[in-house]
């Protein structure tokens, strides 16, 4: 609802400006996708697929879902439209709604909005650092301060299986003390245990082996280079070995940004590398990638509100002839970027009351004498000073803030 929508628009405008600076281009994927896309891409044992997706049978018997996240959708479109045939890294961004049946709480909704991006076609740690830099730049420009960047590496298909077995062995003697979900995950997908948010489980999880001790000769230097590039850019970060994120497609670099004002659901965004996702969705071309998604609902809750989108000028016409004149004048002012509100068929006192309530910067009083002379009374609603101005001087005065 207004005025909150003004904050949403400002956040999205800043996001688009940052994406443009990094040469990202918008992609718009459908809200409805095939259920199997997320079972294969996100992982059948993840909470998203097993518990949270809105899935239903279509009239032809096919299974559809409301998209719970957008990376799998973007990669599906990337494969379907053969973007792998284009030269260079494909940089794509999106802004839109996602759907998960979660328990509603502060910062978590069943229809929520994400701002996200995917860089597809490079395994370079330089790209990882650039994506994280872009995230940091975006959050800073929106006015979000005091956020924490957490990073980790979750290895690859070569070193992660050995770590998973080590983790499974470490979980056996303590699994019965964990929450019900983690008891199941300890058998089916031990990495998901590290992503548990239950406070009572955290002391036990902190004692589990660290994946950073099991990285292979490719993943370890890759992560070192990511950290080096971030340090070069002066971007502060904290290494968090338990950070695995909640999706099966992540490998190597994972990251998350948290903010203290959001309570239990303190994550503003998350992301990571997914070098095998395209192949798991049927691509015949190796298409490594890295991306992130910002929880726009949560971001909007934390950024400064600033001033509401108040009108620049509130025109108070006195009589029918003045109202007709005001309509043409308002049109001309709007064409040059001035925000105008016209009080139709109201007495001057009531019109000025509305101008005050709307927090208008100026009020323009328009009567027969003003029309005849081509000179208007312009009142600064903050200083209460009044000036006689011509049509041309209105724009000049508003632009200077006088």
Q: Residue 34 belongs to a domain with what CATH number?
A: 3.30.930.10
286-301 residue pLDDT tens: 999 999 999 999 898 8
Token pair for 303 = 């950024």
What pLDDT score does 398 carry? Answer: 81
Domain that holds residue 323: 313-400
pLDDT tier at 1, thresholds 50, 70, 90: confident
Please indicate, yes or no, whether residues 73 and 36 belong to a single structural domain of this protein: yes
Q: Average model confidence (pLDDT) for the chain?
A: 89
Residues 341, 244, single domain; the answer is no
- Asked whether residue 306 carries a pLDDT value surpassing 80, the answer given is no
Residues 294 and 329 in one domain: no
Task: Report in angstroms the alpha-carbon separations of 396 from 216, 360, 393, 399.
Answer: 65, 17, 5, 5
- Same structural domain, 293 and 343: no
Please choose, from the candidates 356, 371, 253, 267, the residue with its C-alpha nearest in 3D space to the C-alpha of residue 317: 371
Residue 176 placed within a domain: no
Residue 307, pLDDT score:
56
- The model's confidence at residue 186, banded by pLDDT at 50, 70 and 90, is confident
For residue 337, the domain's CATH number is 3.40.50.800
Taking residue 322's Cβ as centre, other Cβ atoms within 10 Å add up to: 20
Q: For residues 292 and 346, state if they share a domain.
A: no
| Any domain includes 51 | yes
Separation between Cα atoms, residue 96 and residue 69, nearest integer Å: 10
Query: 377 by DSSP, 3-state: which?
Result: strand
State in Å, rounded, how far the first CA of the chain is from the last one. 31
50 pLDDT more than 80? no
In angstroms, rounded to a whole number, what is the distance separating the alpha carbons of residues 311 and 361?
7
Which of 269, 302, 335 is the last residue before a domain boundary? Answer: 302
33 and 65 in a single domain? The answer is yes
Q: What is the predicted pLDDT for the residue at 342? A: 94
Higher pLDDT pick, 50 / 247: 50
Residue 164 lies in a domain: no
In this structure, are 279 and 333 located in the same domain? no
**395 falls in which pLDDT band (50, 70, 90)?**
confident
Counting beta carbons within 10 angstroms of the beta carbon of residue 94, is it exposed (0 to 12), middle (13 to 18) or buried (19 or more)?
buried
Residues 273 and 392 occupy one common structural domain: no
Please give the structure tokens belonging to residue 328: 């043409």
Model confidence at 280, in pLDDT bands (50, 70, 90)?
Answer: confident
308 belongs to a structural domain: no
Please say whether the beta carbons of 366 and 316 come within 8 A.
yes
> What is the average per-residue pLDDT within 138-166?
91
Of 240, 274, 302, the last residue of a domain is: 302
CB atoms within 10 A of CB 388: 11
**Residue 209, in any domain of the structure:** no
Which tokens is 397 given? Answer: 């005065």
pLDDT tier at 92 (50, 70, 90 boundaries)?
very high
pLDDT digits (tens, 9 = 90+) for 376-386: 899 999 998 99
Q: Are residues 65 and 151 in the same domain?
A: yes
Look at 129 and 109; give whichever has higher pLDDT: 129
In contact, 314 and 398? CB cutoff 8 Å:
no
Name the band, by pLDDT with cuts 50, 70 and 90, for residue 303: confident
Token pair 């036990």: residue: 204
Q: What is the mean pLDDT of residues 211-240?
A: 95
Residues 280, 346 within the same domain? no
Q: Give the model's pLDDT for residue 302.
A: 82
pTM of this structure: 0.84
When pLDDT is averaged across residues 323-345 and rounded to a whole number, the result is 91
Total of domains in the chain: 2
pLDDT tops 70 at residue 356: yes
Least confident of 65-69, 118-122, 234-238, 357-361: 357-361
Where residue 246 falls among pLDDT bands split at 50, 70, 90? low
Say whether pLDDT at 105 is over 80: no
Domain membership flag for residue 247: yes
Q: Distance between CA 33 and CA 38 in Å, rounded? A: 9
In a domain, 70, yes or no: yes
The sheet that has 313-317: what strands, in order across it?
340-342, 313-317, 362-366, 375-380, 386-390
Looking at residue 262, what is its pLDDT?
60
Do 248 and 376 fall into the same domain? no
Residues 131 and 229 in one domain: yes
Q: Which residue has the higher pLDDT, 95 or 259?
A: 95
Q: Which of 253, 276, 302 is the last residue of a domain?
A: 302
pLDDT for position 399: 66
pLDDT above 70 covers a percentage of the chain that reads 94
The H or E element spanning position 119 is: strand 111-120
321 in a structural domain: yes
């Amino acid at each position: 609802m207004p005025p909150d929508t003004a904050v949403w628009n400002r956040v999205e405008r800043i996001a688009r400006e940052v994406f443009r600076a990094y040469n990202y281009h918008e992609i718009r994927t459908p809200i409805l996708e095939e259920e199997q896309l997320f079972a294969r891409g996100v992982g059948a044992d993840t909470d998203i697929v097993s518990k949270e997706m809105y899935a239903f049978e279509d009239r032809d018997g096919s299974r559809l879902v409301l998209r719970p996240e957008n990376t799998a959708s973007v990669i599906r479109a990337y494969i379907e439209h053969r973007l792998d045939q284009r030269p260079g890294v494909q940089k794509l961004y999106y802004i839109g709604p996602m759907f998960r049946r979660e328990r509603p709480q502060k910062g978590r909704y069943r229809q929520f909005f994400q701002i996200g991006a995917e860089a597809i076609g490079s395994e370079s740690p330089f790209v990882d650092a650039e994506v994280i830099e872009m995230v940091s730049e975006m959050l800073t420009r929106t006015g979000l301060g005091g956020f924490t960047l957490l990073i980790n590496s979750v290895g690859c298909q070569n070193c992660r299986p050995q770590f998973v077995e080590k983790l499974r062995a470490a979980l056996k003697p303590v699994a019965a003390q964990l929450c019900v979900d983690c008891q199941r995950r300890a058998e089916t997908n031990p990495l998901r245990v590290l992503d548990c948010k239950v406070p009572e489980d955290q002391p036990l999880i902190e004692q589990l082996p660290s994946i950073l001790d099991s990285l292979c000769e490719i993943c370890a230097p890759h992560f070192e280079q990511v950290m080096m590039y971030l340090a070069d850019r002066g971007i502060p970060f904290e290494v968090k070995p338990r950070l695995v994120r909640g999706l099966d497609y992540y490998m190597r670099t994972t990251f998350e940004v948290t903010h203290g004002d959001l309570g239990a659901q303190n994550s503003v965004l998350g992301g990571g590398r997914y070098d095998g996702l395209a192949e798991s969705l049927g691509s015949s071309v190796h298409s490594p990638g890295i991306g992130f998604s910002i929880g726009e609902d949560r971001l909007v809750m934390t950024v400064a509100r600033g001033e509401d989108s108040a009108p620049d000028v509130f025109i108070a016409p006195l009589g029918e002839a003045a109202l007709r004149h005001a309509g043409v004048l308002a049109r001309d002012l709007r064409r040059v970027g001035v925000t105008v509100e016209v009080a139709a068929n109201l007495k001057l006192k009531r019109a000025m009351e509305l101008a005050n309530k709307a927090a208008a910067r100026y009020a323009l009083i328009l009567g027969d004498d003003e029309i005849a002379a081509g000179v208007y009374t312009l009142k600064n609603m903050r200083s209460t000073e009044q000036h006689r101005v011509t049509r041309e001087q209105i724009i000049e005065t508003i632009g200077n803030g006088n």
